[in-house]
């Protein structure tokens, strides 16, 4: 049985993969409207290379910058944290040098910090694009 997901962020959607082919089609169209030969193969190769590079980027973001909260665990990137280890969510200060969940040195760009007090008296930084929503969902679980 799978647990319900109480909060989730994907890290990235797959639509940026279409940027490269779209720019390549635009380049092909501009080249077709100008005098001279059209390098169709070059534009197809360019679109494919850009799509492949973007696919690697999107896959990495979906793996390393995703957030999932279930009643049993909080998953931040590559790190899983049991909810039973969380002692407090509210009124927790973020000390300098607190460990960031997910294996990074800092919270990912575009996210906000959610300080958590773990048992026994360790403060870590969770993160989310909507830190208030993640904090509220965690508080509901921890206060039970």
Render pLDDT for 61-98 as a digit per residue (tens, 0 to 9).
999 999 999 999 999 999 999 999 999 998 888 888 89
- pTM, entire model: 0.78
Residue 51 lies in a domain: yes
Q: How far apart are CA 111 and CA 144, in angstroms?
A: 27
Residue 106 lies in a domain: yes
Same-domain pairing of 46 and 102? no
Residue 129 lies in a domain: yes
Q: What angle separates helix 40-64 from helix 19-33, to the nearest 10 degrees? A: 160
Asked if residue 144 has pLDDT above 70, the reply is no
Whether 69 and 137 have beta carbons less than 8 Å apart is answered as yes
Residue 81 lies in a domain: yes
Q: Give 2-15 pLDDT, tens digit per residue.
A: 789 999 999 889 99
Same-domain pairing of 54 and 107? no
Give the pLDDT of residue 1: 56
Q: Give 9-62 pLDDT, tens digit per residue.
A: 998 899 999 999 999 999 999 999 999 899 999 999 999 999 999 999 999 999
Closest CA to 134 of 108, 116, 119: 116
Same-domain pairing of 115 and 72? yes
Same-domain pairing of 116 and 134? yes
Q: How far apart are CA 137 and CA 29, in angstroms?
A: 49
Structural domain of residue 17, as residue ranges? Answer: 10-64
Residue 100 lies in a domain: yes
User: Residue 85: CB partners within 8 Å, gap ≥ 6?
Assistant: 118, 119
Mean pLDDT taken over the chain: 92
Residue 107 lies in a domain: yes
Give the pLDDT of residue 43: 95
Number of domains the chain is built from: 2
Same-domain pairing of 89 and 136? yes
Same-domain pairing of 74 and 130? yes
């Amino acid at each position: 049985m799978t647990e319900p997901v109480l909060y989730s962020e994907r890290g990235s959607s797959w639509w940026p993969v279409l940027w490269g082919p779209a720019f390549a089609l635009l380049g092909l169209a501009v080249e077709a409207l100008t005098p001279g030969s059209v390098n169709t193969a070059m534009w197809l190769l360019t679109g494919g290379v850009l799509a492949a590079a973007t696919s690697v980027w999107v896959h990495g973001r979906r793996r390393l910058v995703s957030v999932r909260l279930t009643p049993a665990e909080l998953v931040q990137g590559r790190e899983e944290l049991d909810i039973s280890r969380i002692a407090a969510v509210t009124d927790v200060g973020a000390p300098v040098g607190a460990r960031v969940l997910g294996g990074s040195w800092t919270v990912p760009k575009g996210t906000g910090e959610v300080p958590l007090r773990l048992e026994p008296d360790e403060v870590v930084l969770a993160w989310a694009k909507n830190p208030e929503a993640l904090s509220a969902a965690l508080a509901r679980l921890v206060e039970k």
